[in-house]
């Protein structure tokens, strides 16, 4: 039986480059031990696409891109090709047909729908959500709008455009009764760890906005509510939508854990979270609703803030971290699904879905 050819995209031009490398190593190593032929395609910080046939251990530290066996490679937009074009020895082209694409690219170049659009143009199945849903989920302002419209509670917020800065004092005054210090300031269309700051007064708010605008033209300002950071994974399996148990990111000190879908050194992860059964079911149902109203496909990690008995949906991650220690893997493991089984479920779902 021929092995399924999986192109794994990793690296990228965002500040999440190193996170992507760690995910890629775990995914590639595990898939290569199963019924898959892995075609690793790395993207350097400078944006160069390279086919990497070398030792997988060199991926995590970034030394992979210096391997002499690397060659330029791109996904062909020609649906007849259904694969990757490699440039060999500087002037020879070779076509590598692909069955499915597993993108581990994070941030505005990996989660915003651009890669997903290229996959659709190429006619190649891919893991995760479609271009439109990916873009909506990455854009924090759009996520607020879609979830609010569906009646799914989100934290009080307002948006600021870079062009609004000359009138920022007036804008802050307009929102003084609906949102209070401290406030989180986030760059809108970036991964959660990028452009995030907390402001305790108006001067800090303006400084945080300027920093956010260095990453994106739009920023989201939210109440910095205290509470418990909980999450679950909604995923498709054989045509059905399933949801994992609820996990909790528990801070080990006062530092702000801004890694969201990754477990940092300042946090531990507990699954199942210590939450009463009725509330667990309610949050799971809300997560499924969020998955559907955002029109997600494949899988998504849905984050919530639990403030006493109130909970707020805070993030929908369509390309979460994918190491064996990442939150999505830990949530699945708590439900008895091993790392390799999780990857099989997701790949099978992608292969069965229409491009």
For all residues of the chain together, what is the average pLDDT? 92
pLDDT at 263 over 80: no
pLDDT for 108-165, tens place per residue? 888 999 999 999 999 999 999 999 999 999 999 999 999 999 999 999 999 999 999 9
CA distances from 216 to 189, 238, 256, 288 (A): 7, 38, 22, 29
Residue 60 near residue 324, CB atoms below 8 Å: no
pLDDT at 256 over 70: no
pLDDT at 193 over 80: no
In this structure, which CATH number among 3.40.1350.10, 3.30.420.40, 3.40.50.20, 2.40.50.220 belongs to the domain 4-126?
3.40.50.20
Residue 56 near residue 39, CB atoms below 8 Å: no
pLDDT at 195 over 80: no
Determine the average pLDDT of the residues in 201-206. Answer: 95
Nearest CA to 130 among 295, 316, 319, 292? Answer: 295
pLDDT at 248 over 50: yes
User: For residue 229, with 0-12 CB atoms within 10 Å meaning exposed, 13-18 middle and 19 or more buried, which class applies?
Assistant: buried
What's the token pair of residue 261?
A: 């879908």
Q: Model confidence at 257, in pLDDT bands (50, 70, 90)?
A: very low
Q: What is the pLDDT of residue 259?
A: 43
DSSP 152-205: -----EEEEEGGGGGGHHHHHHHTTTT--SSEEEEETTS-TTSS-EEESSHHHH
Q: Model confidence at 354, in pLDDT bands (50, 70, 90)?
A: low
Q: What is the pLDDT of residue 17?
A: 93
Counted residue by residue, the chain has a size of 355
Highest mean pLDDT among 93-97, 258-262, 265-269, 351-355: 93-97
Higher pLDDT, 352 or 193: 352
In the chain, beta strands by DSSP E? 4-11, 36-43, 49-51, 71-75, 83-88, 92-97, 100-103, 157-161, 183-187, 197-199, 218-223, 228-237, 240-243, 247-251, 267-270, 299-307, 310-317
Assigned architecture for domain 157-223: 2-Layer Sandwich (3.30)
pLDDT for 283-314, tens place per residue? 999 999 999 999 999 999 999 999 987 999 99
Helix (H, G, I), strand (E, B) or coil at 287: helix
Assigned architecture for domain 136-153+227-352: 2-Layer Sandwich (3.30)
Determine the average pLDDT of the residues in 179-203. Answer: 88
DSSP 68-88: TT-EEEEE-S-TTT-EEEEEE
pLDDT at 42 over 90: yes
State percent of the chain over pLDDT 90. Answer: 84
Nearest CA to 289 among 135, 128, 150? Answer: 150
DSSP β-bridge partners for residue 248: 230, 270
pLDDT at 267 over 90: no
pLDDT for 53-64, tens place per residue? 999 999 999 999
Q: Model confidence at 196, in pLDDT bands (50, 70, 90)?
A: confident
pLDDT at 322 over 50: yes
CA separation for the pair 188, 257 (Å, rounded)? 18
Quick one: the chain helix, strand, coil %, rounded to 5?
A: 35, 30, 40
Name the least confident of 20-24, 263-267, 315-319, 348-352.
263-267
pLDDT at 201 over 50: yes
CA separation for the pair 118, 329 (Å, rounded)? 27
SS (H, E, C) 199-218: ECCHHHHHHHHHHHHCCCCE
Residue 244 near residue 335, CB atoms below 8 Å: yes
Residue 10 near residue 104, CB atoms below 8 Å: yes
Helix 140-149 / helix 277-293 crossing angle, nearest 10 deg: 110
What is the separation, in whole angstroms, between the first and last Cα of the chain?
24
Domain ranges of the chain: 4-126, 136-153+227-352, 157-223
Helix 114-122 / helix 131-138 crossing angle, nearest 10 deg: 170
DSSP β-bridge partners for residue 183: 199, 223
Q: What is the pLDDT of residue 300?
A: 97
- Within 10 A of 160 (CB to CB), how many other CB atoms are there? 25
Residue 276 near residue 283, CB atoms below 8 Å: no
């Amino acid at each position: 039986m021929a092995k399924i050819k999986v192109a794994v995209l990793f690296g990228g031009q965002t500040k999440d480059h190193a996170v992507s490398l760690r995910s890629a190593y775990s995914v590639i190593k595990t898939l290569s031990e199963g019924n898959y032929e892995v075609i690793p395609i790395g993207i350097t910080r400078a944006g160069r696409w390279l086919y990497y046939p070398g030792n997988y251990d060199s991926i995590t530290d970034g030394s992979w891109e210096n391997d002499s066996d690397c060659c330029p490679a791109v996904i062909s937009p020609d649906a007849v090709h259904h694969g990757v074009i490699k440039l060999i020895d500087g002037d020879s082209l070779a076509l590598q047909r692909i069955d499915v694409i597993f993108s581990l690219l994070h941030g505005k170049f990996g989660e915003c729908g651009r890669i997903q659009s290229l996959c659709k143009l190429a006619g190649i199945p891919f893991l995760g959500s479609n271009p439109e849903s990916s873009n909506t989920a990455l854009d924090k302002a759009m996520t607020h709008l879609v979830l609010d419209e569906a009646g799914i509670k989100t934290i009080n917020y307002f948006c600021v455009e870079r062009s609004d800065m000359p009138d920022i004092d007036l804008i802050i005054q307009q929102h003084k009764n609906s949102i209070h210090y401290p406030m989180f300031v986030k760059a809108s269309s970036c991964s959660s760890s990028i452009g995030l700051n907390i402001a305790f007064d108006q001067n800090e708010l303006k400084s945080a906005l300027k920093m956010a605008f260095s990453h994106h033209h739009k920023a989201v300002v939210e109440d910095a509510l205290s509470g418990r950071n909980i999450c679950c994974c909604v995923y498709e399996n054989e045509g059905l939508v399933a949801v994992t148990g609820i996990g909790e990111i528990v801070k080990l000190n006062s530092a702000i854990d801004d890694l969201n879908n990754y477990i940092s050194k300042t946090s531990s992860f507990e699954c199942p979270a210590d939450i009463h059964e009725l509330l667990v079911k309610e949050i799971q149902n809300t997560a499924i609703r969020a998955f559907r109203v955002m029109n997600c496909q494949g899988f998504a990690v849905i984050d919530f803030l639990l403030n006493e008995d109130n909970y707020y949906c805070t993030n929908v991650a369509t390309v979460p971290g994918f190491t064996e220690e990442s939150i999505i893997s830990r949530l699945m493991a708590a439900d008895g699904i091993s790392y390799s089984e999780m990857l099989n479920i997701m790949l099978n779902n992608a292969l069965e879905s229409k491009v």
